Amino acid sequence: MKYTMEDLAFIKNNRAPQSKTTESMIGKICVVSGATSGVGLEAVKQLAKGGAHIVMVARNLKKAENVKILLHKDYSVSIDIVIADFSDLEQVREAANLIVKQYPVIDLLVNSAGLHSTKRHLTKDGNELVFQANHIAPFLLTMLLLDSIKKSEQGRIIQVNSEGHRFGGLNINDLTWDKRPYIGLRAYGASKTAQLMTVMYLAKELKETNVTINAMHPGGVRTNIGSNNGWLYRAWLHGVVWHFLKDPVISGDALYYLSASPK
């Protein structure tokens, strides 16, 4: 696999200064997926600090409850938990139905749930696991919540993307990797490419509405993505790569800026 300097632009981008805002989020209904660790956790911390009402979409109830306790203790904000495993699209539909019934108006949706795997797995829906968890499920959640987001005075959608889209491309003729050897980095890159293409498409579709959508690269930060992979991958990640990564708090600042800034 060969990379050009353009492909490696994320190294330069990782050193870019971070924009910040002190705008309040009091009274805003914010739905965040992947909120129990990494980028998503930093996002809900910042949103809670800004006074938002947070709806966490999480796979693990115990982890979500621990985050809820932490945020309520530190910021005394309202927090709800909705359980959904993104490897099961029916759970995503059920979660979306619960959310729109309770919250007819949604001000912000942050899709931050993410997955990386070194091995190929298919979901019960027949999709490659990483592609479904990173792209199909967030896209489905977005579309099911979109009408409620449009009811906000200024609805916003943020897709946590990655410079990893440069490493994969997208083979639409083999999304399940049936015809070629599975390469985890490329599968991850394919999911991020699909995310980015979808954001660009929706940005055009929503141009004449009160809803904006942005994709953001969180930077090279320490997260739990890929933590379910084998010991060799984990040893490489924590023994080598980890030392070059930043605290994910910087990604929380970026997400809050996109969530609250009037610009």
pLDDT in tens, 89-113: 999 999 999 999 999 999 999 999 8
pLDDT tens sequence across 153-196: 999 999 998 777 677 679 999 999 999 999 988 999 999 999 99
d(CA 182, CA 79): 39
pLDDT tens sequence across 52-64: 999 999 999 999 9
User: Pick the catalytic residue: 3, 75, 182, 188?
Assistant: 182
Q: What pLDDT was estimated at residue 250?
A: 64
d(CA 105, CA 148): 5
Annotation marks residue 201 as catalytic: no
Question: Best-predicted range by mean pLDDT among 70-74, 159-163, 230-234?
Answer: 70-74
What is the 3-class SS of the chain, one letter each residue? CCCCCCCCHHHHHCCCCCCCCCCCCCCCEEEEECCCCHHHHHHHHHHHHCCCEEEEEECCHHHHHHHHHHHHHHHCCCEEEEECCCCCHHHHHHHHHHHHHHCCCCCEEEECCCCCCCCCCECCCCCEHHHHHHHHHHHHHHHHHHHHHHCCCCEEEEEECCHHHHHCCCCCCCCCCCCCCCCHHHHHHHHHHHHHHHHHHHHHHCCCCCEEEEEECCCCECCCCCCCCCHHHHHHHHHCHHHHCECCHHHHHHHHHHHHCCC
Domain 21-260 listed as CATH 2.40.37.10:
no
Reported confidence tier of residue 249, pLDDT bands at 50, 70, 90: low
Q: What pLDDT was estimated at residue 248?
A: 52
Q: What percent of the chain lies above the pLDDT cut of 70?
A: 79
Q: What pLDDT was estimated at residue 12?
A: 53
Q: What pLDDT was estimated at residue 169?
A: 78
Q: What pLDDT was estimated at residue 114?
A: 87
